[in-house]
Amino acid sequence: MSEPGWHRHPVRAYWEDTDASGIVFYANHLRYTERARTEWLRRLGVNQSALLDETGVAFVVRNVNVGYRAPARLDDELVVRSRLTELRPASLTLEQLVQRGEELLVRSSVQLACIDRRGRPKRLPQRVKAALDVAEPGSFPPQS
């Protein structure tokens, strides 16, 4: 199912993701959303390791706000939905939802900052900005 402005990334909850009760440990949702962000960027043509090698810049998490609504459990098939909500000269913010079917389990807002190799803020490279301009709500290319 294609949704304009959203990228979808499937995830399954494995033993290693859960606590003794079979519930996904809260911090693992951050891992799920990190993977989804990486694939979202890759889908837009931004390879983070190549970006660092070629331009000396990288993305780091500057701020994250997470709300947990319901637990994910062992063997659940989940989907992480990601969309760009703000694009600034040296940062971007995404809304990310973790869902089991239509049920919303986790809602997060993640701000990524662009930094150089010394950890100082850096403007987004022009080619990255151009790729992210495509990701604005309603214009993200459909997934195949």
Known catalytic residue: 19?
yes
- Tokens linked to 71: 């637990």
Mean pLDDT, the chain, rounded, equals: 92
pLDDT(82) > 80: yes
Q: Which residues pair with 78 in a beta bridge?
A: 11
Residues 70 and 23: beta-carbon distance below 8 Å = no
Domain 7-134 class? Answer: alpha beta
What are the residue boundaries of the structural domains of the chain, listed by start? Answer: 7-134
pLDDT(135) > 50: yes
| Distance spanning both ends of the chain, measured CA to CA | 9
- Tokens linked to 74: 């062992």
- Tokens linked to 55: 């331009």
Residues 36 and 28: beta-carbon distance below 8 Å = no
Q: What is the pLDDT of residue 2?
A: 56
Q: What's the rounded Cα separation, in Å, for the pair 51 and 53?
A: 6
Q: What is the pLDDT of residue 136?
A: 60
Catalytic residue among 17, 19, 53, 75: 19
Model's pTM, two decimal places? 0.89
Strand pairing report for 77-88 and 7-12: antiparallel
Return the CA Rg of the chain: 16
Strand pairing report for 57-68 and 77-88: unpaired
For 49-69, what is each residue's pLDDT tens digit? 999 999 999 999 999 999 999
- What amino acid occupies position 4? P
Q: What is the DSSP string of 76-122?
A: -EEEEEEEEEEEETTEEEEEEEEEETTEEEEEEEEEEEEEETTS-B-
Lowest mean pLDDT, pick from 79-83, 93-97, 137-141: 137-141
